[in-house]
Amino acid sequence: MAIEHPALPYALDALAPHISRETLELHHGKHHAGYVRKLNAAIEGTPHAGKDLETLIAEGVAFNAAAQTWNHGFYWNSMRPGGGGAPSGRIAAAIDASFGSFASFREAFSGVAAGHFASGWAWLARDAAGQLEVVETHDAGTLAGNDALTPLLVCDVWEHAYYVDYRNARGAYLEAWWNLVNWDFANANLG
């Protein structure tokens, strides 16, 4: 069984005006789909064919393609039309307990995402003790299968996430991303 390229959880134009249809067509339809194709080509006809994505990542099989496939799927779900605003529910309480306030968390997260050198990801994660932290991973680095950190949300800071809409202005993209954050997804991941 091949790894499938997941459909977006919303229409291509649903994140506008913050993220355009054109960006989603390129980012999801070209970049994400490309990682899925590369991964399937790497595992076809091998003992790894038929394994799930998390197993492939854990085994280091075609790691870049596998991790990017997983990260992008997580990223699409970290956003939603009509998202953003202040968190509610358990994630709001966990953010307050770990960062002191939503404003402090947002500042810390935006700082990591904006300051990340080159390509990668900014994550909100929960550690084994239940504390939340902001972490970054480089290139295809992922929190999938991480025993120490449970991913709750992610922001893609590769240029392909924002170059159509924001050119090289990562900060403007991050401001827009905050209008899309899917707090329901974060609450579900918090468990």
Domains of the chain listed by start with CATH number: 21-77 (1.10.287.990), 90-190 (3.55.40.20)
Query: Which residue shows structure tokens 């307990």?
Result: 97
Q: Is the pTM of the predicted complex or chain greater than 0.85?
A: yes
Question: What single string gives the DSSP state of each residue in 70-138?
Answer: HHHHHHHHTB-TT--SS--THHHHHHHHHHSSHHHHHHHHHHHHHH--SSEEEEEEEETTS-EEEEEEE
Tell me the chain's radius of gyration from C-alpha atoms: 16
Reduced DSSP (H G I as helix, E B as strand, rest coil) percent helix, strand, coil of the chain, to 5: 50, 15, 40
Could you give the dihedral angle defined by the CA atoms of residues 54, 33, 118 and 152, in that order, rounded to the nearest 10 degrees? -40
> pLDDT 10s digit of each residue in the chain, 191 long?
699 999 999 999 999 999 999 999 999 999 999 999 999 999 999 999 999 999 999 999 999 999 999 999 999 999 999 999 999 999 999 999 999 999 999 999 999 999 999 999 999 999 999 999 999 999 999 999 999 999 999 999 999 999 999 999 999 999 999 999 999 999 999 98
